[in-house]
């Protein structure tokens, strides 16, 4: 049996902060439907509006620019569906540009878009995971309706220059969306400085529970609801308000505002220590992603001659929870598309592990991983065909 | 039972876990004097297996292996190595992935392909042994299965064509062998088979 649990999969999901958990528990008493006119309804409504202001603060937005959704994927889907809005495609704008490293809730919609007459262009990335600006510049034209570029990548953590990209996109007269699910809480987000029209957020990556997301819609940006049939969220998203989730999102956002900067500095130090510790003890590895423009908690490492799922499961037996860079564990034989796009090569990509540190990662956790990992790699390499 | 074990259980059986944690018969000695050796798969595809056998009186006297692969691949090869010790070459040659996985108490469906490499590597090792001995291979024909009834094309013919790089697509296979060009009823099966063989032998 494992001696301890070391959670290093914070990019997959974060634990719920105990202070957020308290808000969740308390919220259960606010059972009134926030759309109801009576006291119980109004009490819940008040808390929702408070949470909206807190969430807006995290990204320097106005409260009315925030719509709560069910998750980050819903936020992304909502924006993609704007491509069927006449306001957005007016003047023959039927082109959608995204990147080769987007989350599935963006890129898996490509086929549906193509079938429905939208031209889809995906911009490549360099070996550090930065999108190729020249390619984007070339693709942007008077046909472009919408561009979506993730602010920080979930697998390798590379951060994009969203402000610079937004300027280019707006110069072409198109709309700009960024999936900031992995960026929130890890880098400072300022929607005005970034100049984006839409921005997606998720609660469970910032220590709130699963099942709550948010979408920033710049005041004046074209919009139509994805979920229809209700007046909630100012008729921008139908469905009874998720009082509990929304309050949790507000509380989690408030903590990011208050503690985010110090927290990311601490996490970055731990991540650097982990990376160095592994580099010192294990040879034939490659650290993926950008050396500096990378979110604090993420390090993605390819181990030559050791397969990712095997590393993951041996680490799991030591109580260490990580993620593979390879999709093998989820049923596909293909290695991670993000790593392949950055030119890692299939052999190395199959042996990739993502360590994502977070609010509760300690120095002891890092030392424990540095101690336990090298013998596992050594063991797998000994039984490997390499 | 700890939480950790519960998590493991819904992915893999206890037996898989045991063989993954304590794999048997790993080839550790670089000077191992094998009588036959087989290598299938590729690291680029995510799994590669090497099987080395010693043969006495046409029986598998000893078997050692190395695997680059996921937990299922490691567990399947380990299980296979335990199963075939003492088997006649003929028995070993007709070992199927189903026999290995059922001995393991099952694998998750999407992991089934991992067990296919183990018996392929074993057959490659037997092939290599017979070739080194300059002997005919009587087992190949016995285990061949007809895929295309109309043209009489077997799984082994398809495997050979993929292994020597003659075909990489169903179209090429059809052109070369006529498979699936009459009733067409085998095309899905052949395509799946082609896909599996490409995974095993492809780069």
The pLDDT > 70 percentage for chain A reads 97
Task: Say if residue B80 is in the same domain as residue B7.
Answer: yes
Task: Say if residue B131 is in the same domain as residue B165.
Answer: no
Task: Say if residue B15 is in the same domain as residue B78.
Answer: yes
Task: Say if residue B130 is in the same domain as residue B158.
Answer: no
Task: Say if residue A371 is in the same domain as residue A286.
Answer: yes
Backbone φ and ψ for A158, nearest 5 degrees, come out as: -60, 135
Nearest CA in chain A to B75: A310
Say yes or no to pLDDT of A125 above 70: yes
Nearest CA in chain A to B25: A383
Q: Of B117, B136, B155, which residue constitutes the final position of a domain?
A: B136
Q: Of A256, A287, A318, which residue constitutes the final position of a domain?
A: A256
In a domain, A100, yes or no: yes
Domain total of chain A: 2
Task: Say if residue A271 is in the same domain as residue A225.
Answer: no
Buried b (16+ CB within 10 A) or exposed e, A49-87: ebbbbbbbbbbebeeebbbbbbbbbbbbbbbbbbbeeee
Question: Distance (Å, rounded) from C-alpha A344 to C-alpha A300?
Answer: 11
Task: Say if residue B128 is in the same domain as residue B148.
Answer: no
CB pairs under 8 A between A and B: 71
| pLDDT at position B111 | 73
Say yes or no to pLDDT of B29 above 60: yes
CB burial class (10 A; 0-12, 13-18, 19+) of residue A291? exposed
Task: Say if residue A83 is in the same domain as residue A158.
Answer: yes
Among A304, A309, A382, pick the best mutation site for testing chain B contact (most B Cβ within 10 A): A309
For the residues A17-29, what does the mean pLDDT come to? Answer: 98
Query: Does B66 lie at the interface with A, CB-CB under 8 angstroms?
Result: yes
Q: Do A310 and B69 touch (CB under 8 A)?
A: yes
In a domain, A148, yes or no: yes
| pLDDT at position A385 | 87
For the residues A98-114, what does the mean pLDDT come to? Answer: 95
What would the two tokens of residue A146 be?
Answer: 């919408």
Q: Is B56 helix (H, G, I), strand (E, B) or coil?
A: strand
| pLDDT at position A83 | 97
Question: Residue A316 belongs to a domain with what CATH number?
Answer: 3.90.1150.10
Query: Does B197 lie at the interface with A, CB-CB under 8 angstroms?
Result: no
Task: Say if residue A268 is in the same domain as residue A190.
Answer: no
Q: A159, A152 in Cβ contact below 8 A?
A: yes
Q: A323, A356 in Cβ contact below 8 A?
A: yes
Which residues from A are below 8 Å from B199, CB to CB? Answer: 333
Which among B70, B114, B183, B186 is annotated as catalytic?
B114
Q: Do A328 and B46 touch (CB under 8 A)?
A: yes
Report CA torsion sign: A73, A78, A79, A81.
positive
Task: Say if residue A232 is in the same domain as residue A330.
Answer: no
Task: Say if residue A103 is in the same domain as residue A148.
Answer: yes
For A310, which of B39, B70, B110 is closest by C-beta distance? B70
> Is the predicted ipTM greater than 0.85, yes or no?
no
In a domain, A1, yes or no: no
Q: Residue A332 — pLDDT band, cuts 50, 70, 90? A: low
Distance of CA A49 to the CA centre of its chain: 24
Task: Say if residue A124 is in the same domain as residue A146.
Answer: yes
Task: Say if residue B168 is in the same domain as residue B106.
Answer: no
Question: What does the pLDDT look like over B59-73, one tens digit per residue?
Answer: 999 999 999 998 889
- Count of Cβ atoms closer than 10 Å to residue A25 Cβ: 10
Which among A212, A328, A338, A373 is annotated as catalytic?
A328
Task: Say if residue A222 is in the same domain as residue A270.
Answer: no
Q: Which domain holds residue A291?
A: 6-15+260-382
Q: Do B26 and A335 touch (CB under 8 A)?
A: no
Q: What Å distances lie between residue B143 and A365, B81, B118, B128, B165, CA to CA? A: 53, 20, 16, 17, 22
Task: Say if residue A220 is in the same domain as residue A138.
Answer: yes
Query: Does B1 lie at the interface with A, CB-CB under 8 angstroms?
Result: no
Q: Do B46 and A350 touch (CB under 8 A)?
A: yes
For the residues A58-73, what does the mean pLDDT come to? Answer: 98
- Count of Cβ atoms closer than 10 Å to residue B88 Cβ: 14
| pLDDT at position A376 | 98
What would the two tokens of residue A168 be?
Answer: 């280019």
For the residues A360-376, what does the mean pLDDT come to? Answer: 98
Q: Do A313 and B46 touch (CB under 8 A)?
A: no
The pLDDT > 90 percentage for chain B reads 39
In a domain, A44, yes or no: yes
Beta-strand pair A198-202/A213-217: antiparallel
Question: Residue B183 belongs to a domain with what CATH number?
Answer: 1.10.10.1100
Q: Of A240, A256, A272, which residue constitutes the final position of a domain?
A: A256
For the residues A303-310, what does the mean pLDDT come to? Answer: 93
- CA distance to partner chain B, nearest, from residue A273 (Å): 27
Say yes or no to pLDDT of A87 above 90: yes
For A304-313, A353-362, A369-378, B146-155, which range has the lowest pLDDT when averaged over its residues? Answer: B146-155
Q: Which domain holds residue B175?
A: 144-201
What DSSP state is assigned to residue B26? B
Nearest CA in chain B to A314: B21
| pLDDT at position B5 | 41
Q: Which residue has the higher pLDDT, B188 or A256?
A: A256
B-proximal residues of A, 26-85, CB under 8 Å: none
Question: Residue A151 belongs to a domain with what CATH number?
Answer: 3.40.640.10
Say yes or no to pLDDT of B107 above 90: no
Residue A257: active-site member: no
Task: Say if residue B54 is in the same domain as residue B118.
Answer: yes
Task: Say if residue B185 is in the same domain as residue B149.
Answer: yes
CB burial class (10 A; 0-12, 13-18, 19+) of residue B164? exposed
Task: Say if residue A94 is in the same domain as residue A177.
Answer: yes
For the residues A12-32, what does the mean pLDDT come to? Answer: 97
Q: Do A307 and B47 touch (CB under 8 A)?
A: yes
Mean pLDDT of chain A: 95
The pLDDT > 70 percentage for chain B reads 92
Q: Residue A339 — pLDDT band, cuts 50, 70, 90? A: very high
Q: Of A256, A288, A316, which residue constitutes the final position of a domain?
A: A256
CB burial class (10 A; 0-12, 13-18, 19+) of residue A109? buried
Q: Of B136, B157, B174, which residue constitutes the final position of a domain?
A: B136
Nearest CA in chain B to A347: B44
| pLDDT at position A226 | 96
Q: What share of chain B is helix, strand, coil (3-state, %, to 5)?
A: 50, 15, 30
Say yes or no to pLDDT of A362 above 50: yes
The residues, ordered by sequence, that sit 6+ positions from A20 with a Cβ below 8 Å of its Cβ are A207, A208, A209, A248, A251, A252, A255
| pLDDT at position B140 | 81
Q: A300, A157 in Cβ contact below 8 A?
A: yes
Task: Say if residue B127 is in the same domain as residue B184.
Answer: no
Residue B150: active-site member: no
Query: Does B198 lie at the interface with A, CB-CB under 8 angstroms?
Result: no
- CA distance to partner chain B, nearest, from residue A282 (Å): 18
Task: Say if residue B123 is in the same domain as residue B164.
Answer: no
A-proximal residues of B, 84-103, CB under 8 Å: none
Distance of CA A113 to the CA centre of its chain: 22
Nearest CA in chain A to B51: A385
Nearest CA in chain B to A381: B68
Q: Do A305 and B43 touch (CB under 8 A)?
A: yes
What would the two tokens of residue B138 be?
Answer: 């009587």
Q: Of B104, B136, B168, which residue constitutes the final position of a domain?
A: B136
Which residues from A are below 8 Å from B4, CB to CB? Answer: 1-2, 316-317, 319
Task: Say if residue B100 is in the same domain as residue B149.
Answer: no
Query: Does B38 lie at the interface with A, CB-CB under 8 angstroms?
Result: no
Query: Does A302 lie at the interface with B, CB-CB under 8 angstroms?
Result: no
What would the two tokens of residue A186 be?
Answer: 């890890």
Residue reference for tokens 């889907």: A77
Q: What is the rounded end-to-end Cα distance, in angstroms, of chain A?
A: 31
Task: Say if residue B179 is in the same domain as residue B127.
Answer: no
| pLDDT at position B202 | 67
Edge-first strand order for the sheet with A95-99 is: A66-69, A213-217, A198-202, A175-179, A144-148, A95-99, A119-123
Question: What does the pLDDT look like over B153-170, one tens digit per residue?
Answer: 888 888 888 888 889 899
Domain total of chain B: 2
Q: What is the pTM of this model?
A: 0.88
Q: B65, B121 in Cβ contact below 8 A?
A: yes
Task: Say if residue A251 is in the same domain as residue A343.
Answer: no
For A43-47, A64-68, B194-198, which range has the lowest pLDDT when averaged over its residues? Answer: B194-198
Q: Residue A222 — pLDDT band, cuts 50, 70, 90? A: very high
- Gyration radius from chain A CA atoms: 21
Q: Do A384 and B66 touch (CB under 8 A)?
A: yes
For A263-277, A288-302, B46-60, B147-161, which range has the lowest pLDDT when averaged over its residues? Answer: B147-161
For the residues A118-127, what does the mean pLDDT come to? Answer: 97
- Gyration radius from chain B CA atoms: 18
Question: Distance (Å, rounded) from C-alpha A143 to C-alpha B3?
Answer: 54
Question: What does the pLDDT look like over A172-210, one tens digit per residue?
Answer: 999 999 999 999 999 999 999 999 999 999 999 999 999
Q: Which residue has the higher pLDDT, B30 or A7?
A: A7
For A385, which of B21, B39, B199 is closest by C-beta distance? B39
């Amino acid at each position: 049996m494992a001696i301890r649990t070391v959670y290093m999969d914070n990019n997959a999901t974060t634990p719920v902060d105990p202070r957020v958990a308290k808000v969740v528990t308390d919220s259960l008493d606010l059972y009134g439907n926030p759309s109801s006119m009576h006291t119980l309804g109004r009490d819940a409504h008040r808390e929702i509006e408070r949470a909206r202001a807190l969430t807006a603060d995290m990204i320097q937005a106005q409260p009315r620019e925030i719509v709560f959704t069910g998750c980050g994927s819903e936020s992304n889907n909502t924006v993609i569906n704007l491509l069927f809005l006449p306001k957005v495609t007016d003047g023959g704008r039927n082109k959608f540009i995204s990147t080769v490293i987007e989350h599935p809730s963006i890129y898996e919609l490509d086929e549906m878009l193509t079938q429905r007459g939208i031209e889809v262009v995906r911009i490549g990335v360099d070996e550090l995971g930065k999108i190729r600006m020249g390619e984007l510049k070339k693709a942007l034209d008077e046909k472009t309706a919408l561009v979506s570029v993730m602010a920080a990548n979930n697998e390798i953590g590379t951060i994009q220059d969203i402000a610079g990209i937004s300027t280019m996109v707006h110069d072409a007269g198109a709309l700009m969306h960024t999936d900031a699910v992995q960026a929130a809480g890890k880098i400072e987000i300022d929607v005005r400085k970034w100049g984006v029209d839409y921005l997606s957020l998720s609660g469970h990556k910032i220590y709130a529970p699963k099942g709550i997301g948010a979408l920033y819609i710049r005041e004046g940006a074209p919009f139509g609801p994805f979920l229809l049939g209700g007046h909630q969220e100012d008729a921008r998203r139908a469905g009874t308000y998720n009082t509990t989730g929304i309050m949790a999102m507000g509380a989690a956002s408030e903590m990011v505002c208050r503690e985010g900067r110090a927290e990311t500095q601490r996490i970055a130090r731990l991540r650097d220590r982990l990376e160095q510790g592994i580099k010192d003890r294990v040879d034939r590895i490659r650290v993926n992603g950008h050396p500096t423009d990378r979110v604090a908690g993420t390090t993605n490492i390819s181990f030559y001659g050791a397969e990712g799922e095997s590393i993951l499961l041996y680490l799991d037996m030591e109580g260490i929870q990580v993620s593979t860079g390879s999709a093998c564990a989820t049923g596909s034989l293909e290695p991670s598309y993000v790593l392949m796009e950055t030119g890692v090569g299939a052999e190395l990509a199959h042996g990739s592990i993502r360590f994502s540190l977070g609010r509760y990662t300690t120095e002891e956790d890092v030392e424990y991983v540095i101690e336990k990992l090298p013998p596992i790699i050594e063991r797998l390499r000994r039984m490997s065909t390499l | 039972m700890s939480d950790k074990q519960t998590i493991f259980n819904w992915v893999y059986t206890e037996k898989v876990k045991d063989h993954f944690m304590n794999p048997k018969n790993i080839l550790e000695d670089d000077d191992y004097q094998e009588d036959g050796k087989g290598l299938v798969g590729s690291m680029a595809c995510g799994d590669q297996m090497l099987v080395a056998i010693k043969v006495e009186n046409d029986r598998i006297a000893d078997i050692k292996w190395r695997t680059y692969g996921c937990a299922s691949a490691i567990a399947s090869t380990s299980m296979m190595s335990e199963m075939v010790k003492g088997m006649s070459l003929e028995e070993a040659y007709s070992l199927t992935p189903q026999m290995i996985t059922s001995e393991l108490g099952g694998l998750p469906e999407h992991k089934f392909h991992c067990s296919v490499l183990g018996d392929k590597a074993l057959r490659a090792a037997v092939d290599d042994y017979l070739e080194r001995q300059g002997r005919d291979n009587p087992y190949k024909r016995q285990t061949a299965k007809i895929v295309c009834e109309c043209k009489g094309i077997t799984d082994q013919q398809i495997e050979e064509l993929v292994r020597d790089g003659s075909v990489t697509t169903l179209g090429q296979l059809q052109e070369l062998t006529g498979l699936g060009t009459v009733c067409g009823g085998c095309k899905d099966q052949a395509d799946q088979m082609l896909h599996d063989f490409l995974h095993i032998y492809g780069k």
